Amino acid sequence: MTGWSCLVTGAGGFLGQRIISLLAEEKELQEIRALDKVFRPDKQEELSKLKHKVKLTMMKGDILDEQCLKKACQGISVIIHTACIIDVNGTIPREDIMNVNLKGTQLLLEASVQANVPIFIYTSTIEVAGPNSYKEIIQNGHEEENYESKWSSPYPYSKKLAEKVVLAADGWTLKNGGTLYTCALRPMYIYGEGNPFICQQINEALQNNGILLNFAKHSLANPVYVDNVAWAHILAARGLKDPKKAPNIRGQFYYISDDTPHESYSKFNYILSKEFGLHIDSGMSVPVFVKYWVAFLLEIISFLLSPVYKFHPPFTRHLVTLSNSVFIFSYKKAQKDLGYEPLFSWEESRKKTSQWIGSLVKQHNEALKTKIH
């Protein structure tokens, strides 16, 4: 991969930052361009530490700003597009999500064609495949089965449409007459240090005498460690640059998981945090079908009130389904085409994530002591 350069969008995010950290180790990489709307000071500091390894250009800009994208793409040979709005609670306006996740992707594709960027890798999500029903059981799912989300919720819907746009763009002619190569990666639920959802759940448990909500005890998922997802992006970039591998990868999507044990989301949080005294709520839980129909009623109320009042239901049918499904996928196709093997074992991934959770618990306890004194 002689003299190549890479643009990473969503560079200040949970996954984007890890992709940049691994990219910095790549040989013959001349420049990483890190694009995001906002860089938190701690993230900016962490990324800046990589400047001694590789030329790192940090760019603040909006994915919907065409001039910014034009500038960001100049002289780049690979784009890794992770920027998106994730919303599982339905609190962010639909238009904002559709704009960033779908329109932003379309604008970036157009900018890449104009700037003659030959490789475009899209970070998709397992949610473009489903689950569509909490009654459906998918174990060892794979790419040939063509699962597709039927939800109109803006996050899975926008990601599904954006992925289709990216894969359909494979083979487009670049301005200089070259050809655009694309692929998409569909990670499972991504965990690891800095995961905002885990952070929220741990903090809520600490406010509740160390009791973790048992919100998803009927689910069975195969979580994937963040650095393994980042590694899959590096391998996709290498593969699309390789004339022998590229024909098999072009226009394809890949499920990205690893060897993390299959657990319910609730049990998984417990496994990561039990050494710090946290435990799962052992009280009676509401049956899933009751939660589902309550969610349906709340959605109807929200719709009826919408002309006069913005009511956000505390949970939706989509969230109930997501949190209570058996939905597990194999990474064999990524193994075959990309040469993907998890970079970190389950034991290493668990240890790193647990240590980070330990730091959250420590911060909480110190804040309590300060309050008391």
Which residues carry out catalysis? 155
Rounded Cα distance, 352 and 349, in Å: 5
Is 292:134 a contact under the CB 8 Å cutoff?
Answer: yes
Reported for 359-366, long-range contacts at CB under 8 A and 24+ positions apart, including other chains, are: 360/199, 360/202, 360/203, 360/206, 361/202, 361/206, 361/273, 361/276, 361/277, 361/278, 364/203, 364/206
Query: How many alpha carbons fall within 13 Å on the CB side of residue 202?
Result: 30
